[in-house]
Amino acid sequence: MLRLLASTCARGLGGGWGSRRLVPGGRARPVAGLCDLSRRLSRQASDAPRNQPPSSEFVARSVGICSMMRLPVQASPEGLDAAFVGVPLDIGTSNRPGARFGPRRIREESVLLRTANPSTGAVPFQFLRVADLGDVNVNLYNLQDSCRLIRAAYQKIVAAGCVPLTLGGDHTITYPILQAIAEKHGPVGLVHVDAHMDTVDKALGEKLYHGTPFRRCVDEGLLDCKRVVQIGIRGSSTTLDTYRYSRSQGFRVVLAEDCWLKSLVPLMGEVRQQMGSRPIYISFDIDGLDPAYAPGTGTPEIAGLTPSQALEIIRGCQGLNVVGCDLVEVSPPYDPSGNTALVAANLLFEMLCVLPKVTVV
């Protein structure tokens, strides 16, 4: 189902780490590797075995496999509460490609992340068993087939009781993911952060690309339309009534200019009331942020949200019944500094921190 980036921690890291060293007296003693330290820190955090990203106090950030937060990589979601999953697909893009490289670059930048969130009091790895499930093996020559492969992969993840946190990939991928999510949970609420509403019916005669995922979701009854909010919408359009379809379906559309120069904490208080206790999904297109902060994306629009507003939105989902999340449209070829991927990695960690099983200290 899933294509792994590297061998799992169960296989060890091999001799490249220098598996033994000499101690006084000439005896050889095993050297703790990344996986050993991860397991040891897990035991310290909880009596139950949980994966723990290694601390840079003990393991250099440049050491280890390129997984999300240097977590163990495994093939199966069984036994996991949550998992990071890459979907390296960008053949649904309408402008600048490159999002197929997003998952890898986000993983690279995630080495800077640590295990606790002092701002919110969340220590997710004390409450969740988390791993990196590698990448879905998409078909880069066939968008329809890729959606089939994504849906099948996520059906297995969701059936195992694992909450997926997805590294995209263009926004097309949210459609097959929500097919799998709704199959288990029924129509879900949606917190959608984006410069665009992605509710176009078709383009160039095609009904499936990164501008149509939520139109297709509505068509198939995957969304609870009265519990959908789209935040950060902006940019030029082909018509003046560009918001008509979303609003006619019952979506709440929050324009970027309604967010300028203000905290979004009050807005998220309203969103929490709107979402209630039923399942919701978070979909965050990195172009929801202003390109000054996140230039590495396919369809940038000026005058967007700030990173601090992004944190307010995600942290505002604390206490909601979040059953899945994604962060899409990071395009590394347009991100020479890596800053867009770094922002994305941090936002994914924030999503992990608001999952229902995480108790805020």
Binding-site residue set for Mn(2+): 171, 194, 196, 198, 285, 287
pLDDT reported for residue 303: 98
Please name the residue that has the structure tokens 């996991």: 80
Quick check: is 16 in a domain?
no
Q: What is the CATH number of the domain that holds 302?
A: 3.40.800.10
Quick check: is 104 in a domain?
yes
Low-confidence stretches of the chain (pLDDT < 50) are 1-46
Cα dihedral 191, 194, 200, 204 sign: negative
| Structural domain count, the chain | 1
Quick check: is 107 in a domain?
yes
Reported for 334-338, long-range contacts at CB under 8 A and 24+ positions apart, including other chains, are: 334/96, 334/98, 334/295, 334/296, 334/297, 334/298, 335/105, 335/295, 335/296, 335/297, 336/296, 338/105, 338/108, 338/109
Quick check: is 20 in a domain?
no
pLDDT reported for residue 47: 52
Domain hosting 246: range is 68-354
Binding-site residue set: 171, 194, 196, 198, 285, 287
Please name the residue that has the structure tokens 């039923």: 278
Quick check: is 33 in a domain?
no
Q: Token pair for residue 202?
A: 């078709």
151: DSSP letter:
H
Under the phi-then-psi rule, with left for phi > 0, alpha for psi from -120 to 50, and beta for the rest, what region is 186?
left
Backbone angles phi, psi at 212, to 5 degrees: -120, 0
Q: Token pair for residue 299?
A: 């369809």
Quick check: is 22 in a domain?
no
Quick check: is 8 in a domain?
no
